[in-house]
C-alpha cells in the first residue's frame, strides 16, 4: 500500500486588511506618491520660480533699464573676481603639493613611491569592499522583491481558488 503524500507548504491566513496584504501594490502606491511630490517640487523650483523671477525682472527692466543692466554688470564682475580668486587659490595649492611630492621623491624615491603604492592599494581595497557591500545589498533587495512577489502571487492564487470553489458550489448545489 502506498501512503498518501502530504505537502509541506502551509497556506498562511492573515487577518490584515486587503490593502496591506499586497505589499507590491502598497509599495507602488508609495512610490507614486513620492514621485508626485518630487514632480511638484521640481515644477515649483524649475518652472514657477524662474518664471516669476523673469516677470519681475522684465517689469524692473521696463521701469528703469539702466539700473537693471548696471546691477547685472556689477553682479557679473563680482562673480568673475571670486572665480579668479578661487581658481588661483586652488592652483597654488596644487603647485605646493606637487613641489612637496617632488622634494620627497628626490630625497628618497623608493620610500615615496612605496607610499604611493600603499595608498593606492588602500584606496582599491576600500573601493572593493564598498562595491562588495553595495552588491550584497542589491542582491538582498532582489531576493526580498522575489519573495514579496511570490507571496503576493500565492495570495492571489488562493483567492482565485476560493472564489472558484464558491462558484462551483453555487452551480452544483
| pLDDT for the residue 1 | 47
HSE, CB side, 13 Å, CA atoms: give it for residue 4. 2
Q: What is the pTM of this model?
A: 0.33
Element (H, E) at 143: helix 109-172
Mean pLDDT on 152-169: 83
According to DSSP, residue 7 is labeled -
According to DSSP, residue 16 is labeled S
The domain segmentation of the chain, as residue ranges, is: 108-163
| DSSP notation for 58-108 | HHHHHH-HHHHHHHHHHHHHHHHHHHHHHHHHHHHHHHHHHHHHHHHHHH-
d(CA 97, CA 104): 11
Q: pLDDT per residue over 29-83, tens digit each?
A: 888 888 889 999 988 988 889 888 888 888 888 888 888 888 888 888 898 888 8
Q: pLDDT per residue over 106-133, tens digit each?
A: 998 888 888 889 989 999 999 999 999 8
45 φ, ψ (degrees, to nearest 5): -75, -45
Q: Using the structure block, give the residue that is written with the C-alpha cell 502506498.
A: 2
Angle value at C-alpha 43, between 41 and 48, nearest 5 degrees: 115
Per-residue exposure over 28-51, b if at least 16 CB sit within 10 Å of its own CB, e if not: eeeeeeeeeeeeeeeeeeeeeeee
According to DSSP, residue 141 is labeled H
Amino acid at each position: 500500500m502506498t501512503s498518501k503524500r502530504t505537502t509541506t507548504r502551509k497556506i498562511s491566513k492573515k487577518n490584515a486588511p486587503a490593502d496591506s496584504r499586497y505589499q507590491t501594490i502598497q509599495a507602488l502606491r508609495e512610490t507614486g506618491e513620492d514621485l508626485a511630490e518630487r514632480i511638484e517640487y521640481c515644477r515649483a523650483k524649475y518652472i514657477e520660480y524662474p518664471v516669476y523671477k523673469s516677470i519681475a525682472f522684465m517689469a524692473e527692466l521696463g521701469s528703469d533699464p539702466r539700473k537693471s543692466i548696471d546691477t547685472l554688470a556689477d553682479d557679473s564682475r563680482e562673480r568673475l573676481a571670486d572665480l579668479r580668486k578661487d581658481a588661483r587659490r586652488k592652483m597654488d595649492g596644487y603647485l605646493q603639493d606637487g613641489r612637496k611630492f617632488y622634494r620627497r621623491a628626490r630625497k628618497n624615491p623608493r620610500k615615496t613611491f612605496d607610499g604611493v603604492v600603499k595608498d593606492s592599494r588602500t584606496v582599491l581595497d576600500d573601493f572593493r569592499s564598498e562595491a562588495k557591500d553595495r552588491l550584497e545589498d542589491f542582491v538582498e533587495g532582489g531576493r526580498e522583491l522575489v519573495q514579496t512577489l511570490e507571496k503576493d502571487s500565492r495570495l492571489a492564487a488562493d483567492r482565485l481558488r476560493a472564489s472558484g470553489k464558491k462558484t462551483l458550489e453555487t452551480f452544483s448545489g
